[in-house]
Amino acid sequence: MRKLPVFFGVFVLCQALGCAVELPAPSSVRRDATVLAIEKAYRTVVNISTERIVRRGYRDPFEDLLYEFYGYRRPQRTYTSYSLGSGVIVERSGYIVTNQHVVERASKISVTLADGSKHEARYVNGTAKHDLAVLKIEPKQPLPAIELAADGDLMLGETVIALGDPYGLENTISRGVLSAKNRKATWEGEVVFEDMLQTDAAINPGNSGGALINLDGQLIGINTAMMAEAQGIGFAIPVQRVRQILSELLSPEKSNGVWFGAQVAAQDGRLTVAAVQKGSPAEHAGLQAGDAIEQVNGEPVRDVVDFESRLLRKSAGEEVSLTFQRGGKSRRATVTLAAVPKVSGFDLAWRKLGLRLQPVTADLAQALGVAASQGMIVTEVERSGPAWEAGVRRGLVVSRIGGLDLRGESDVAAALGEVATGDAVTMTVFTSVRRGAFLLQNVDSVRVKAR
């Protein structure tokens, strides 16, 4: 006679005695690695909607003829342009990364979280060259933030998931594989990235700025482009570049006006102080180049973005406790943060580039046929100075420096504040020239080497 399994024997005996037995629940195969990764990351992806006020310039030759012969010109027409995109929460206090082209020149930015709540967002910083921007919302409580994968932790053929809001369809998910790791991307004729990620996960309009994650629910890239003429080909900025650019865009000096005064960078798997500014809070606290930071306020720090995020939660006057290694010994320092010293952007433009800049007033805008908020006009160029040698002349309008749109003097200061002698600065400039009844406009990119 065959022996019955022990469990079955116990079950029969209990049935005979009238006792209750709970059978073990069968394991579910539906909650697989993909579902677990999505459950971990989907609440960090947001919908971004923007409004942009567009003013139509006077380029109609008929209107110019009316003005020339009869002194009449119809009122300038404006309309509102709307666009949609996606973003990813990278810091729990409300900092969001997206593509620069999603929010470029927006007059209003709205963010919708995964729970349906809507927030007005503030543009913090961005770079058109790298197509990344940082926004800030003010949530009532800490938000879930995406976990960044380790640099280079990528496997060809591994399953990847694209999260975003294509065509305004919120919380849309598509799955595919990592098709390639080293695709080139160019900007204004210059190779910006040589390691763009390629995937066959569906990336459609509105996915821009969303997350590309692995099966651990970690961010491996920011969705940024698709090829309209191809099927199953999408691209993302790799996490290594995202981390590098975020460390610049999220610096407390640029983001919330708090001065720490030391530049940190990842080196040999450790977070190391690369440079210390003279007279800064970091110097007063005794930090030196080469110090390896291990903890911030008693908690381990993972990378540069994690470090910058800790500082972003602080205000001027607050203290930050650091534990670091120097010469094989563990040390501690307390840094008292300060407000960033105010620097005139116009003074920086003259000192570093040899340019005198002035905001484009309403009268100038009408004369030039441009939007009043479109940039800064060059009023003077130092002869034989850096800008002069690059071909910049009086009357040009500078709309962007180093990938940062110029809306005011503070933008000029932010764009030039950390530019060192010998650094090449890219400026987007345009001219408006009247030829009889026609208004001709030319846009160009100029590289100026700072002195």
What digits encode the pLDDT tens for the residues 359-401?
887 777 666 666 555 688 999 999 999 999 999 998 888 988 8
Distances (CA, A) of 81 to 50, 107, 112, 372, 405: 8, 10, 19, 17, 18
User: According to CATH, where is 2.30.42.10 located in the chain?
Assistant: 251-339, 345-449
| CA count, 13 A, side-chain hemisphere, 395 | 10
Whole-structure pTM value: 0.69
- Reduce the DSSP state of residue 407 to 3 states and report it: coil
Residue pair 99/222 in contact (Cβ under 8 Å)? The answer is: yes
Among this protein's residues, is 32 annotated catalytic?
no
pLDDT of residue 170: 75
Is 39-136 in CATH node 2.40.10.10?
Answer: yes
Residue pair 430/439 in contact (Cβ under 8 Å)? The answer is: no
CATH superfamily assigned to domain 251-339: PDZ domain (2.30.42.10)
Among this protein's residues, is 130 annotated catalytic?
no
Structure tokens at 225: 């482009």
Q: What crossing angle do the helices spanning 239-249 and 304-312 adopt, rounded to 10°?
A: 30
Low-confidence ranges of the chain (pLDDT < 70): 1-27, 53-81, 186-192, 226-230, 365-374, 431-443
DSSP assignment of 151-168, as one string? TT---TT-EEEEEE-GGG
Is 345-449 in CATH node 3.20.20.70?
Answer: no
One-letter amino acid at 43 equals R
Q: Pairing between strand 147-148 and 132-136?
A: unpaired
One-letter amino acid at 90 equals V
pLDDT of residue 192: 67
Residue pair 89/137 in contact (Cβ under 8 Å)? The answer is: no
Residue pair 239/148 in contact (Cβ under 8 Å)? The answer is: yes
Q: What are the two backbone dihedrals, phi and then psi, of residue 66, each rounded to the nearest 5 degrees?
A: -60, -40
pLDDT tens-place string over residues 341-362:
888 899 999 999 999 999 887 7
Distance CA 204, CA 295 (A): 41
CATH superfamily assigned to domain 148-242: Trypsin-like serine proteases (2.40.10.10)
* DSSP one-letter code for 396: -
Structure tokens at 445: 């990119």
Q: Give the active site residue among 64, 101, 130, 309.
A: 101
Structure tokens at 60: 């109609």
State the first-to-last Cα distance of the chain, in angstroms, to the nearest integer.
Answer: 96
pLDDT of residue 244: 86
Among this protein's residues, is 411 annotated catalytic?
no
Q: Give the active site residue among 49, 179, 208, 255.
A: 208
pLDDT of residue 10: 46
Q: Give the active site residue among 49, 64, 131, 306.
A: 131
User: According to CATH, where is 2.40.10.10 located in the chain?
Assistant: 39-136, 148-242
Residue found by looking up tokens 């030391």 in the block: 262
Q: What angle do CA 249, 130, 351 make, to 5 degrees?
A: 65
245 Rama sector, left if φ>0, alpha if ψ -120 to 50, beta otherwise: alpha
Mean of per-residue pLDDT scores for the chain: 83
Residue pair 320/312 in contact (Cβ under 8 Å)? The answer is: no
pLDDT of residue 254: 74
Maximal C-alpha separation, the chain: 114
Is residue 377 exposed (0-12), middle (13-18) or buried (19+ Cβ within 10 Å)? buried
Q: Measuring CA to CA, which residue among 319, 374, 356 is closest to residue 105?
A: 374
What torsion do the CA atoms of 89, 91, 96, 100 make, to the nearest 10 degrees?
Answer: -120
Distances (CA, A) of 324 to 295, 304, 334: 7, 14, 11
